[in-house]
Amino acid sequence: MRAFFKVTVSALIILCFFASGCSKKKKSKLFYPPAAKVQNPSPADNATYVPINVVLSWDDAEWAGSYNVYLGTDAGAVGNATETSPEFQSSAGGPAYDPPGDLNYGTMYYWRVDSVNVVGAKTGDVWSFTTIPPVSVTVTTSIGNGTEVIVDGVSYPAPHTAVWAEGSFHGIGVAATQSGGTGIEYDFVSWSDGGAREHAVSPVADAVYTADLSTGYFLDVTLITPASPSRGLVRLDYEILNDVSGVANLVFEVSFDGGVNWEPPSLAYSDAGQLVGNVVLNIPCGPVQEAHYVIWDSVTDAGFTLNTMVRFRGRPETTYQGIWSETDDFTVDNSPPVGAPVAVITADRLCIQSGEDIQFSALDSVGSVASYHWDFGDGSYSTDSEPLHTYNTGPGEFTVLLTVADGAGLSDTAALLIKIAETIVDYRPRLEPYRNYSESRGIFEQLADDYPNLMTFYTIGYSVEGREIHVVKISDNVFTDEDEPVVHFDAQHHAREIMTPEVIIDICEQLLTSYGSIQEVTDWIDNYEIYLIPCVNPDSVVAVFDNNWNIRKNARGVDLNRNYPADWGNPDGSSDNSSWSTYHGPFPASEPEVQTVMAQAFGTRPAAAITFHTYSNIVLYPYSSPGLSQTSQENYILEFSNSIAMNMIRDVGGPYDCAQTLWYNASGVTFDWFYRDIGTFCALVEVGNDFDYTAWAFHPIYADSHDAQVEGVRGGVMELFRYMGYGAICGHVVDAGTGEPLEATVSVSTFSFPNGEIRMSEPDFGSFYWLWGDGDYSVTFTLEGYAEQSHDITVAGVPYVLDVALVKNGGGNHRPTAELKVSMTKVEVGTTVFLDGTYSTDEDGDFLNFSWNFGDDQTSAEPAVWHTFDRTGTHRVVLEVDDSYGGVHRTWKLVHVMPVLEKPHVSIQLVGGSPSGNVSVTYSMKVPVPADCNVAIEYTLDGIIWHPATIVGADAGLINGNVLENIWTVDTPTTHDFTWDSMADLGPGRRQVVLKVTPYIADTLYGDPAISNMFTVDN
């Protein structure tokens, strides 16, 4: 068997996983040995002629997490320095340190580097080096008076005296003003070798260097027209007058309101290169005049009146040079004209491959619109209100412009960025090594068969299109809901992120194969219940493997990781436009897939969780949403998440990063909801390479990336399990009189919860388990009808167990017991279900009040009710009863509501005219039915219902009484048959028989029964 979480890329991971007998109580020494001493300094010990801007570096020491750097001019002081000494410079995260500012010329420095980890610090050797001696030089120019020289990017009146170091690199240039006020700036010109723009010199004392203009690299820019200011888009047309092919970049600068520099963050378009920030890169300029333009959105970025000056400068490599042009000041007035229409663009997709279509629409534009004009950014145009456009281009970005006009001279323009990804004709060969939805299901079913005492795999809900959403449970008593803490994992909220279910498969395999052989893993499985949801979004996963590689959202076009209730709908982290990739859905938890995850979490109350995504090699922690304020637990959540990140290994080496957000905000996300509404310490792990918007990032080549990425997360998964054994608070809340479990509210004076967070014990065992970290806490338990109870506790390194018995107010009343019965738990949308609460009891004989919540925004106060479920998804039906004396109890059941599917049709064909002896019956079923469909076989004998006892064979399932179980069908009609011995069953004589075949799912009729004609059996 493979050893669990064997990570070949990191000896650290191997050591910490295979260390037997590790104590969970000693966090600081759980898996780190002492750090090794730092070796191989650069500059080398006793080095001379070291530059004054030197960067100190050394070899990465084994087991080191950080480095303390000491620097000074006294050897003894550096050797004896501590973190409070003036020689202490910094705590470096990697093997390099850049001193702030330049060092002194001609000075001997001493330095020391200590390697540090959680065990402590390893003192390093004291090394020395001597900086270069200084020389004085003069920089001048032959251009004329009033000219400035530029020394290392700074302008000085000529001539200028500078202090340089021997062997150093310096750039000199000249700045002049020509007629008309046009500026020329040319940095890093050569001294004597002609065309070099940067030159290394070994200065000689008192030398004179002359900076003159050199030809061949000037950028001459002329403004063709002034900016055309208007509400919306501001356009500037300009012209490159000389050949700067392969040399120049273009810098677009804007100043406003008195010359304050400003980079418009939504600079929308340039026709002449790639736009990065306010820089237009890779200008394809030839020797002839070529016109270009830049556009930015003044409404989005300014929102007020701008007095704006715009200029362009050539940018060869990293320096500025050339002649630039300036506009006169002009005003951009963002106040919309009275009665003007407002342009709004919608699109069905924002990222496509070359040759694919995008459906655009202007129908969401506001106001009176008489005409439409589209510019698709690729030289194509349209005047339709809803054009369908095909991009036959290579990879790139295109800004689509829509101008709407009202016919009276008023108009408005909107812009939308479209991305064209790398064209791949068929992704399926690339995806083949990865397991699709069906193949993954087969793997989990096989694991459940191989480890029947440790793992089970079952359905917990259904997708929009009716596909099953499964969960894996791993525990020592896997078929029993034990009173144990829960750990949760899930994957593939976004369908295209195909590496994430591979991670779930690997976690399952490593846990199961290591049980009984690795004590740490055995303890986890014995003491925790572990739940893993491999695929939250099965509908779109099927589509991805059918060559629709870029599908992120579910089958209804909702981003499932923006659909959770925590800060749902915040426009700073999601979109209400259904065409956007982050569309949050029509209302919180509107999607059946999200409802399924929430129902699973409410039912199990995980203490810790990871939700897997791709990609970026980063661990995110709550709160990520901009609308949620941080709680006072933030520091411990950060410690928890950072520890997971430090134990995860990138496929290119090094640990994962840790942060609250990526480069964009996100609201309505999974891990925020887990923490806010349940109290789960939940991290979001982005598996795999850093950001690169191509198919390759979501679908890396299996042979190159799979093992490294999957194995890379193992150490972090292990660390999550270890945190379960650190500073936690756990226990039970029960009724002091009856011992019955209570669902009580738990508050902590130490913590502030500003977002309405509620922490409650769970109802089945009254248990709770929260990762709070070490510290002193005052914990209060409250429940209506019971006396409040507080406890002062100290958590130190291990879970603190606190069992609480709440006393009823008045001491005499007993809590009622809610009991809920449901006529059907798996139904089609539109089905009416009978929900019965009349079996609820009260020991005191008190009259009970009933309160129902059906999980679909509908409620009732009746003891029993017929309820119609009009929304698909997994509904948590909650019944609460109270006795009017403070006694309250709540229970719940799940009702799975599936879309209406085509029903199976059963037809019967009898073989033979007057059957006798062994009677053979053949029937067929058309259209697919779920795998758990059963078929009931009934007979009427001389008008009386009768079940033959000696059915001897059936080709399509297990005979159980008169029911054929586990019938599987396919798209084409499938024929089945069975026989019975009429001689044995009916006795002698002529008997009249009618056969009835009925499909069922569980106890629910699923389709129309088929009834044969009456036939005679003559024995």
Q: Write the DSSP string, 327-380.
A: PPPEEE--PPPTT--B---EES-SEEETT-EEEEE-TT-BS---EEEEE-SSS-
Q: 682 and 600 in one domain?
A: yes
**Which of 684, 685, 709, 683 has its CA nearest to residue 696?**
709
The tokens describing 413, both together, are: 């323009």
Please report, for the domain that includes residue 993, its CATH number: 2.60.40.2550
What's the pLDDT at 310?
43
Q: Which residues pair with 374 in a beta bridge?
A: 382, 402
Mean of the per-residue pLDDT values for the chain? 76
Q: What is the pLDDT of residue 180?
A: 39
What average pLDDT does range 293-300 have in this prediction?
A: 55
Confidence class for position 367, pLDDT limits 50, 70, 90: confident
In terms of domains, do 747 and 666 share one? no
Distance CA 999, CA 965 (A): 10
Question: 34 and 71 in contact (C-beta within 8 Å)?
Answer: no
Comparing C-alpha atoms, which of 587, 601, 588 is closest to residue 679?
A: 601
**pLDDT (mean) for 71-86:** 93
Co-location of 379 and 468 in the same domain:
no
Confidence of residue 13 (pLDDT cuts 50, 70, 90): very low
| Same domain, yes or no: 830 and 781 | no
Q: What is the pLDDT of residue 790?
A: 93
In a domain, residue 741? The reply is: yes
Cα dihedral value 333, 335, 336, 338, nearest 10: -120
The whole-number pLDDT of residue 393 equals 83
Q: Say yes or no: 624 and 719 in one domain.
A: yes
Q: What does the alpha-carbon distance between residue 880 and residue 690 come to, in Å, rounded to a whole number?
A: 49
pLDDT band at 678 (very low <50, low <70, confident <90, very high): very high
Which structure tokens are listed for 25?
Answer: 């109580």
Q: What is the pLDDT of residue 257?
A: 47
Minimal CA–CA distance to 280: which of 314, 234, 256, 327?
314
Q: Within the chain, what is the greatest distance between any pair of CA atoms?
A: 132
Last residue of a domain, one of 187, 210, 233: 210
CA distance 273 to 247: 13
433/545 Cα distance (integer angstroms): 11
What gap in Å lies between CA 240 and CA 234, rounded to an integer?
Answer: 20
**Rounded-to-integer distance, Cα 910 and Cα 154, Å:** 100
Distance of CA 433 to the CA centre of its chain: 23
Spell out a b/e string for 173-196, using b for 16 or more CB atoms within 10 Å of the CB, else e.
bbbbeeeeeeebbbbbbbeeeeee
**415 occurs within a structural domain:** no
CB–CB of 264/239 below 8 Å?
no
Question: Is 243 domain-assigned?
Answer: yes
- Between CA 585 and CA 135 the distance in angstroms is 69
- Its sign, for the CA torsion 278, 281, 287, 291, is negative
| Domain boundaries, position 353 | 346-399
Work out the burial of residue 67: count CB atoms within 10 Å of its CB; fewer than 13 is exposed, 13-18 middle, 19 or more buried.
buried
Provide the 10 A C-beta neighbour count for residue 353: 17
Residue 361, token pair as written in the block = 């629409």
- Name residue 504's amino acid: I
Residue 799 and residue 850: Cα distance in Å, rounded?
38
Number of domains composing the chain: 8
pLDDT at 435: 93
Is 554 contained in some domain?
A: yes
How many other C-beta atoms are found inside a 10 Å radius of the C-beta of residue 265? 11
Q: State both tokens at 626.
A: 């901009």
CB 313 within 8 A of CB 185: yes
* CA separation for the pair 343, 375 (Å, rounded): 13
Question: What pLDDT is attached to residue 332?
Answer: 55
Phi, psi of 911 (to 5 degrees): -100, 120
Domain at 91, CATH number: 2.60.40.10
Phi, psi of 699 (to 5 degrees): -130, 65
Q: What DSSP element (H or E) covers 705?
A: helix 702-712
Helices 714-723 + 702-712 axis angle, to 10: 20
Q: Is residue 671 located within the same domain as residue 748?
A: no
Are 667 and 626 within 8 A, CB to CB?
Answer: yes
Band of the pLDDT at 607, cuts 50, 70, 90? Answer: very high
Please report whether residue 761 resides in a domain: yes
Q: Give the residue with greater pLDDT, 966 vs 637.
A: 637
In terms of domains, do 494 and 602 share one? yes
Quick one: pLDDT at residue 193?
31
Give the whole-angstrom CA distance, residue 19 versus residue 862. 59
- C-alpha span between 1015 and 133 (Å, rounded): 115
Percent of the chain with pLDDT over 90: 37
Asked whether residue 639 is domain-assigned, the answer is: yes
> What is the pLDDT averaged over residues 408-424?
77
* pLDDT value of position 25: 33
Do 185 and 53 share a domain, yes or no?
no
CATH number at residue 756: 2.60.40.1120
pLDDT score of 644 more than 50: yes
Band of pLDDT at residue 265, cut at 50, 70 and 90: very low
**455 and 587 inside one domain:** yes
Dihedrals phi, psi of 1004, to nearest 5 degrees:
-115, 130
> Considering 131, 146, 171, which residue would you say is the last residue of a domain?
131
Q: What are phi and psi of 368, to 5 degrees?
A: -85, 115
What is the helix (H) or strand (E) element at residue 894, kind and residue range?
strand 888-898
Which pLDDT score is estimated for 135? 76
Indicate the residue type of 607. A
pLDDT at 26 exceeding the cut of 90: no
853 HSE (CA, 13 A, CB side): 9
Say if 579 falls within a structural domain.
Answer: yes
**Do 374 and 491 reside in the same domain of the chain?**
no
Is 301 inside any structural domain?
A: yes
Residue corresponding to tokens 């909702």:
558
Q: Which residue has the higher pLDDT, 19 or 734?
A: 734
202, 315: one domain = no
CB atoms within 10 A of CB 778: 12
Top pLDDT among 576 and 937 is at 576
In a shared domain, residues 651 and 743: no
* Measured distance CA(426)–CA(882) in Å, rounded: 61
Of the three residues 332, 358, 383, the one that is the final residue of a domain is 332
Would you state the structure tokens that stand for residue 204, as one six-digit string?
């000689």
